Amino acid sequence: MAVLPGGEYGISSASTVASHMLSSFPNIRIGLMVGVGGGVPSQKHDIRLGDIVVSAPRDGKGGVLQYDFGKTIQGQSFQHTGFLNQPPMVLRTAMSGLETQYKSDGHQLKDAISGVFEKKPRLRKTYERPDRSSDRLYRSEVAHDGDASCAMSCGDDPLRLVLRSDRTEEEDDPAIHYGLIASASQLIKDASVRDKLAEEKEVLCFEMEAAGLMNHFPCLVIRGICDYSDSHKNKEWQGYAAMAAAAYTKDLLYRIAPNKIEAEKKIGDILSSVHEHLAAVTSRLDRRPEQKGPQAVYLVPNRQVPKFIGRKDILKKIHASFSSGSRLHRVVLCGLGGQGKTQIALEYCCWTRKKRFQSIFWVEANSESTVKKSFATIAQKIKAPDENVSDEVAISYVLDKIGEWPDPWLMIFDNYDDVVNFENIQDFIPNGEDGRILITSRHSDSMYLATDAESAIDLLGLVEPEALELLFELSGEKETEALIPHCQTIVQRLACHPLAIAQAGSYIKSRKIPLHQFIDEFNRRKKQILEHTPQLTQYRRRLDDSERETSLNVFTTWELSFEQLLCSSSGQNQSSLLTLFAFFDGKDISEQLFSTYCEEAQRAPKHYLWPVPYFVIYLNDESKWSPDEFCDSLVNLTSLSLLQSWSRGEDDFCHCSLHPLVQDWIRLRTKPEDFQHSVCIAAKVLEATLYKSWRDGDSDLELAVRQSLMSHTSMYIENKRIVDVIVDRLPASWARELNARNPILRRIKKRLRAYLRRTITTFPVRMHQGSRRLRAKTEEQGEQASFLLDKRFFDTEDIIAMFLNNTGQYDEAIAIQSRLVQRAETVLGHENYSTLIYKHNLAGSYLDQGKLELAEQMYRQVLESQERTLSPDHPDTLFSIHNLANTLSNSGNYEAAENMIRRALVKREELFGLEHRDTLISLRLLAEILERQDKFEEAEPIARRVLEGYENLLGPEHIETLRSAKTLGSILFRQAMHDAESMTRRALDGIERKLGKEDPKTLGTLGDLGRILGDQGKVEAAEEMLLRALKGLEKVLGREDRDTLIVVWNLAVLGKRRKEYTRADALYQRACAGYQKTLGAEHPHTILCEKQYAELREKMEEETENASSSGGTTSSGSADEEDRNGSIGEGLGDD
């Protein structure tokens, strides 16, 4: 036991005592720091004087938060710098056990303290509990004034106090609180700072010593609460608080057995192993140049400014932090938007590429989805040429691959701003001895990701000399002594903000404004800009006061540049185009979006709100898109710093990006009616791009294009949310005017029905044919509904929802479709043609997500309405019958499914013939349903006919042909026919080439081949395939998906075949439980699986009895023959 020297406290003293203690007693294995601290009461945690707070580790981190006092962040003077190491396991186990004991039985701390006073009465004066009336919690705004006591100075006025009820007999008193303790080098006496940390970090207590142990030994911190961390210090409670903490510590120590402590490593040995590990890392780094690593990868965007000015100190800090010996060092660069964080990261990449890091990876960290997209791009870059990596496994692939990267690498996570909604960013940070991580962010809470305090870099504005250099460079003015004072005034007025200075310089240069006149013009324009201030209340990032003032300065500068743009000959059109850009994802806005829109809009002008004046100017005399004109606009917008950058991509289209603050400014300055109009045009641009790709049969978009469209789709959803708010606030006259500009519009696509029938199984379009052919009644209803602004773009939302469904974003798709169905029913009617299409598509999304009951219910509603409004034999009605039959089959209602599909098949043969895709897909579904009912002799010829039909119609390598080969292979296997293996291998090889190794369809076919090999007695090869399929399906679809459970079932049968009964028992149990949960007790799969499981249990009991009666000899029996008669996964089809 050690105590701090008399009168000394704080991090330094604690650190010194801990070091001396380890030196004198090297066998120390656990540590406890016991004392007093300041409580942090809140609505969630009723902390009172005399209570006890214990540092409880959470989420793999220690229970002590270290922060530095004196650094200012958003008006507050604290900065999080790290977590104390976790205490040894024996202490955590004891703490958890004691917590459980106290919850069930309560504690006896009062009795223990009273027992001490009975033995040593002299302690009572100093350590006895004070009167309860002295426990006053003043409101945060009430500060202590003067040297008098709180009773005299602050009083007992209820208006100044936080009123709290007395604790009841059922409540512990003192109470024990488990959570985060904040530690700093200075005493905290600020209630506002206390409350801020309580809200942001759920801190329960402040103290001053634990952080001193950060680099010495892990321990458990126990603090008695003697004050409330405000200006009302209360020394009366210090003695009792210390006594209460000591009493709790005694109870804790009683729960630790001596042999448990002896099993723990010595703290000195732990520290030694850390030093040895660092030495080993250093040694490996020294030898690294002799090793031959993989090909260097430089995956960094081309957005660097032509001339980088200043920030040498920041670059040096980054380099110094990365040069430390710490494994996987992380640096966080935090600052207000527009301060140049991304440009600093780009400059460092360019500089360090030649000197240190051979491979550099760039990750867009705006959200979890953008990180996943970046990882997918990295995966495609680092994979082997013959390796297939799907988006679903890209994250784990990149983490594993980079974690083993043999050469030094750097990964940048740029724009990690949404810390609140994206808390799990650490799940995406690779591990690796030679790795370094650089994170840029606007949000101060991101600082906790830094390895140490020195690596958390707070990026402020440019220093004045650098700001002046930047202004002179961009304004074109020569630096003179006479101009320096005027320039100092300008950069100071702009808070040395790099982006604001860049735009001011551009404005000065283009308008030839003398530097000494700029401030006057700036002040003249500021009043007009401040009229937009009320719009800031709608700004979703909710900037605080300090950032808002800076943002207004920046916005004023951008408004000046915008006025300059309007003065040019094509300024009005370019300003409208720039405004439209702000309603897309600003990272990558491709020219192809707008060229496609103009092409499609001229084909169906009414539907696409054509003509749009600011797009017409980019068409040549033949009404074709003119890339040169569009490029000229990008050049002009970039020269005014209104665009962040532009470049020409490998696809030969121009790509541009908007700085996030510029995008915010544009959206905030846009009037409500123009905002709504821009949202409409952006939605139609997105719709045109998606529709064209599907119509042309290009549903498998390239990775970069698909990711970009996903980002723009997310932006559309956000735009719609804001429009709903704006519409609610518009006057009725504005609403009528806006509707006149953009009524509910429809179109007829001549090739839509034929296209969708060709792609019915390759893309979940689900009845979209005819969605543009509304009847006369629909037109009349639509005109009546045109006054409802948010009901106008039904087809747009339907196409976007289908795109979301196709990219695996099922919840988002169903949310849009559910809302669309409700609106269509209200506006158009329950049996309107389009309403039925939207309901049909929603049912398809339910089916894809495995929500079979909802899918069946919705399909039946649609079918009943179609039979009344169209006819029982209409192609759309037959389409619904087909999908309902598929849903019934998946639900296990095979007889009803067979009747339903035969009904559709007869009519489709009459309408389209035998070689039509609609007929073939219904035939294939019939074969699968027959197989599930063990009608193999009938199913086989149908399956062969389907395969032959697809081969003639689409070719042997088309995905539909391969799926048909898979179906036939499954039917042949169920009949124990020798060509089942070759047919299934054909399907597997083709599907893998088309979709990749990790696609669920590939993995499901791999499982099929595994069960075939198992039935042939090739158990080792079968097990290898089944395990590979299981691992992949669990990762992609989850443990309880139907396809996953099929593989589990097949593995169970294989285990039974090999007489590995214990293993088979566990697998059967998992399969049965899974089917009970997902399909229900009455599903045929559930019944058959449980039947086989019962047979296994009987077999195990029989084997046990035989072994007992024959002295240990087990019967060979006929297990193989039984399993051969009932094949692996008996009764399973292609789900």
Give the CATH number of domain 1024-1135: 1.25.40.10
Q: Read off the tokens for 1058.
A: 């090999």
In terms of pTM, does the model score above 0.75? no
Confidence of residue 601 (pLDDT cuts 50, 70, 90): very high
- Give the span between the Cα atoms of 554 and 548, in whole angstroms: 10
766, 844 Cβ separation under 8 angstroms? yes
The amino acid sitting at 81 is T
Nearest alpha carbon to residue 61 among 167, 189, 201: 201
3-state SS track over 1042-1100: HHHHHHHHHHHHHHHHCCCHHHHHHHHHHHHHHHHHHCCCCCHHHHHHHHHHHHHHHHH
Region 558-571 average pLDDT = 75
- Give the span between the Cα atoms of 931 and 877, in whole angstroms: 26
- Give the span between the Cα atoms of 451 and 437, in whole angstroms: 10
Residue pLDDT, tens place only, 5-14? 554 555 555 6
804, 711 Cβ separation under 8 angstroms? no
Which value, in Å, is the radius of gyration of the alpha carbons in the chain?
A: 35
The amino acid sitting at 547 is E
pLDDT computed for residue 683 by the predictor: 92
Q: Higher confidence at residue 660 or residue 554?
A: 660
Residue pLDDT, tens place only, 791-802? 567 888 889 998
- Give the span between the Cα atoms of 610 and 460, in whole angstroms: 46
Checking if the pLDDT of 923 tops 90, the result is yes
- Give the span between the Cα atoms of 639 and 520, in whole angstroms: 24
The single-letter DSSP state of residue 128 is S
Backbone angles phi, psi at 265, to 5 degrees: -70, 150
pLDDT computed for residue 1027 by the predictor: 93
Same fold across 11-263 and 1024-1135: no
Q: Read off the tokens for 624.
A: 């074709």
Q: Is 179 left (phi over 0), alpha (psi -120 to 50) or beta?
A: left
3-state DSSP assignment of residue 206:
strand
Residue pLDDT, tens place only, 410-464? 999 998 877 767 888 988 999 887 889 999 987 767 888 898 888 999 887 788 8
Residue pLDDT, tens place only, 240-293? 999 999 999 999 998 888 877 776 777 666 655 544 544 544 454 454 444 444
pLDDT computed for residue 768 by the predictor: 41
Residue pLDDT, tens place only, 668-689? 788 887 888 898 899 999 999 9
- Give the span between the Cα atoms of 349 and 303, in whole angstroms: 12
Q: Which fold has domain 11-263?
A: Rossmann fold (3.40.50)
Give the CATH number of domain 298-459: 3.40.50.300
Checking if the pLDDT of 854 tops 80, the result is yes
pLDDT computed for residue 1000 by the predictor: 81
Q: Which residue ranges make up each domain of the chain?
A: 11-263, 298-459, 464-567, 1024-1135
